[in-house]
Structure 1
Amino acid sequence: MNQAEAVPSSAVVRPKLKRSIIDCDIHHYTGMDVIRPYLAREYRELVETYGNALPGGMHFNGGVGGRMVDSFPPEGGPAGSSLSYMQRHHLDPNHVEYGILTGEGSGMHNTINHDYAAALCSAVNDYTIEHWLSQDSRLKGSVMIPKQDPLLSAKEIDRVGGRSDFAQVLVSNGAIFPYGNRYYYPIYEACVRHNLPFTIHVGNEGSGVNGPPTGAGHVTHYIESRASRPQVMMAHLASFIFEGVFERFPTLKVVLQEAGVFWIAPYLWRLDQDWKALRVQTPWVRKLPSEYFRDHMRVTTQPIEMTPNRAVFDQMMASIFAKDTMMYCSDYPHWDFDSPLKALPKLDDELWDRVYYRNAANIYGLPARKSERAGEPS
């Protein structure tokens, strides 16, 4: 989705990608065919005999099977399965200095079989280490965890979260409880131990053990599912704040990924207003909800909503504290991929730098650009 298309063409000055960027959402292929060798024998035999045995799944529209038509490796295989092609097709031409890998498919978050879910998560992490992180230092991994079992999740974070090539802990938007619930505290304790952000990526809403995708129940079409994602993310956002997670874990950072952006502005206005009237019920919430959001939460650009004009765009950016909270992501290789050249209209130099590099570098503990470290002009 191209925000620049929402403003008159005469007002658009397309940004030139003069500096390197951090892409916070790159979906490398992690299907069962590639992670199966990393499973214990009993699970390999389970899969070979009965299939994946995972409930639910996401239905995509657009592209080819939900992927860009030109994202499939010429040597064959699924989109996002070839590192060499991803390098040629995305990382190199788009000047990606660091890319955060988020995998492809999180059906293990839907199952009540927690041990199987944990085995799948470990397999994804081990496959990612061997075939991706060890092959290109630009890439950083996401620790996949069986979030429906917080103790097993903490164990997996402790197993691989201390590695310098993992940048965050990753879960799906669909969940059995809103993520502020104390049920998840062992996960946040592990995140804090390893200084890793907790990232919520859309997906699995209403699948398997997870709650329904809307307050009114299940939906029929993909476009309805896509439209309902912010509802679930809203519940998580409010839960983190009003359950007091950020008071208990003051260094924890949370990333809201791929559920839209500008709905956050009026939602924060409402939360601030209600907190002022109802704060007696949550005395542990010591600051305005919008302050907790600005201090502890980050949001990624894809898919950003198109505004009717540039003035509205600028107002919404200011209202969500984009200078501090927004990070670029492409969603490569999905059908709604956002090129860094087209994702946003022209930004002033400082804001561009914050959105496309520095905010992500800060939260993921990544260094300044190589050109800047070398003393060269940025």
Structure 2
Amino acid sequence: MDMFANNVRDLATEEFDTSTLLKNAARQADARNYDDLFIMDVDSHHYENESFGQIAEYIDDPTVRHLALSKAKIGGGRTNFQPSQIGFQDVGGRVTRYTRRKTEQTPPSPHRDITLARRWMDAMGVDMACLFPTPMLHLGMHPQVEMEVTLARAYNRWLYETVLSEERRICSMLYLPLNDPDASIRMIEEFGGKQGVVGFMVTSTRYRPIFDNAYMKVYRMLEERGLPLSFHAGYNWFDQSMSQLNRFISVHALGFTVFNMIHLTNWIVNGLPERFPKLKVMWIESGLAWLPFLMQRLDSEYMMRSSEAPLLKRRPSEYIADMYYSSQPMEMVHNRKALEVTFEMLKAETQLLYASDYPHWDMDLPSTIYDLPFLSKQGKRNILGETALKLFNIEPVWSEKKLRAREAKARAAGVGAEVGA
């Protein structure tokens, strides 16, 4: 009993550090030797509410700015855009990176979010990461459309000036307040060409149908500028369907697929791939298992009622297979055959992009892709990073850790060559 007690970590007093927390991930990355493998994470997160006092300073409307700063002061610099999830998404307190990340020590500069991102990226072997907010993923449900616009612009300005312009390893698909199409147009015009802005993101938890004609000018502008559009999944426990569920695991399993399933179905059936053939669309954080179902279901319906989708020139599944998808959370790990068929149906080696979803509780390490035996070597390289570079039309920015390792190997090889000579 005493021996066991000596091995128990005291999480209440132990100093919290991301690098320490992810030491096993770092060991795994070292064991697989990712030094020559460029890895880009297309879906990682930070908790922007931890910096809400700073973000509030970017709000244009002085009245709203005053209210936001007051709320931040009362909440100790924190605020919430969603109902409390105490006892649910924190998995009973077992995921210490939620509750204790605020105690992690960081230097005065660069910004805290940059330091934390570098730590987890280096531990996992990730070179670049696409960063998204967390509480704001529910902002599309705000009853006041102008509040979505106001907070989205403040956040985008803060993220660009504080993080993206300072750290080339971090990029983002900026929040697009789609409930206001005109504001979305202005957002694209303002941020579309800025460093680190690789596209724009729509939060999927919303109810206005994406085939609304008011959105066509938004899609056209993105297509003309070559900027990808992503739909980032989420859930709403207060949705009438979801409110029947009594466990978070149920809401999480269905909610993160249902909203993207509805939007993707609307996108296909209303012929948007034909109207905007060059617009690259990506679906984030819904996993993969829902896609074979939807491909088969829509194909079956379309073959019987094709007159209801007159703009389509191909089967729905063919359009779906030409879109892009993030890998996390990757299901079917215990059914390799089902996973392999899913990858084949999605043309995963060219259309799938690795995502960790760090620091959330259901995160995936790069090994989730790297260890799959049915992928070709080039397929793994594509999914882990090269497809993202093509999709976002950017150059790779390697981590300093990998650059040093490669330089050391080059020096060693040079010395070996001289000795051989």
Q: TM-score, normalised by structure 1?
A: 0.83
Distance 1:338 1:291 in 2: 28
Q: Report the 3-state secondary structure (helix = DSSP H, G, I; strand = E; otherwise coil) of the residue aligned with 1:143.
A: strand
Cα distance, 1:196–1:325 mapped onto 2, change above 3 Å: same
2:251 corresponding residue in structure 1: 225
Q: Which of 79, 87, 98 pairs up with 2:128?
A: 98
Distance 1:343 1:71 in 2: 27
Deviation at 1:219, TM superposition (A): 3.4
Cα distance, 1:270–1:334 mapped onto 2, change above 3 Å: same
1:365 aligns with 2:382: no
Please point out which of 50, 57, 68 is paired with 1:37.
57
User: Can you give the 5+ residue segments of structure 2 that lack an aligned partner in the other structure?
Assistant: 1-30, 73-78, 411-421
Taking the TM superposition and a 5 Å limit, the aligned residue runs for 1:238-253 are 238-253=265-280
Paired with 1:184 and 1:368, the residues of 2 have a C-alpha distance of: 32
| 2-structure distance, mates of 1:50, 1:270 | 47
Q: Which amino acid aligns with 1:93?
A: A
Question: Corresponding residue for 1:301?
Answer: 327
Confirm or deny: 8 A CA contact 1:15 1:345 kept in the other structure. Answer: no
TM-score by length of 2: 0.75
The aligned counterpart of 2:174 is 143
Aligned to 1:26: 44
Asked if the contact 1:28–1:81 (Cα under 8 Å) also holds between the matched residues in 2, the reply is no
Q: CA deviation at 1:50?
A: 6.2
Task: Supply the distance in 1 between the matched residues of 2:68 and 2:94 (Cα, whole angstroms).
Answer: 23
Q: Kindly state the Cα deviation for residue 81 of structure 1 after the two structures are TM-superposed.
A: 4.9
Displacement of 1:153 in angstroms is: 1.3
Assess if the C-alpha contact under 8 Å between 1:179 and 1:236 holds in 2. Answer: yes
The one-letter amino acid of 1:300's match is S
Between stretches 43-52 and 118-127, larger displacement belongs to 43-52
CA distance 1:263–1:203, shift in 2 (3 Å): closer
Residue identity matched to 2:64:
Y
Match of 2:10 in 1: none
User: Which residue among 256, 271, 295 is the counterpart of 1:268?
Assistant: 295
Matched, 1:163 2:163: no
Is the Cα contact below 8 Å between 2:233 and 2:259 reproduced in 1? no
Q: Does the CA contact (< 8 Å) of 1:170 and 1:200 recur in 2?
A: yes
Find the aligned partners of 1:317 and 1:278 in 2 and give their Cα distance: 28
5+ residue gaps in structure 1?
1-13
Distance (Å, rounded) in 1 between the aligned partners of 2:200 and 2:84 = 21
Seen in structure 2, the aligned counterparts of structure 1 residues 231 and 344 have a Cα distance that, compared at 3 Å, is: farther
Encode CA deviations 1:253-298: one digit per residue, 9 max, x unaligned: 2111111112201220221222122112222111111221122x21
Asked if 2 retains the 8 angstrom alpha-carbon contact of 1:148 and 1:176, the reply is no
8 Å contact kept, 2:168–2:397: no
Partners in 2 of 1:133 and 1:189 — Cα distance?
25
Residue identity in the other structure for 1:360: A
How far off its partner does 1:45 sit?
1.5
- In the alignment, structure 1 residue 321 sits paired with structure 2 residue 321: no
1:92 match: secondary structure: helix
* Counterparts in 2 of 1:63 and 1:354: CA distance versus 1, 3 Å: farther
- Secondary structure of the equivalent of 1:275? helix
Segment of structure 1 superposing worse, 317-326 or 14-23: 14-23
Pick from 336, 351, 361: which aligns with 2:379? 351
Are residues 242 and 314 of structure 1, via their aligned partners in 2, closer, same or farther at CA, if it must alter by over 3 Å? Answer: same
* Distance in 1 between residues matched to 2:166 and 2:397, nearest whole Å: 20
Question: Aligned residue pairs: how many?
Answer: 354
| 8 Å contact kept, 2:55–2:154 | yes
Q: Which has the higher helix share?
A: 2
- Matched residue, 1:17: 34
Aligned mates of 1:328, 1:368 — CA distance in 2: 15
Is the 2:82–2:135 Cα contact (8 Å) retained in structure 1? no
Cα distance between partner residues in 1 of 2:194 and 2:147 = 24
Paired position in structure 2 for 1:46 = 67
User: How far apart are residue 57 of structure 1 and its match?
Assistant: 6.5
Q: Which one-letter code corresponds to 1:256 in the other structure?
A: W
> How many Å apart are 1:154 and its aligned residue?
1.4
Matches within 5 A, 1:167-182: 167-182=198-213
Q: 1:75 maps to what in 2? A: 105
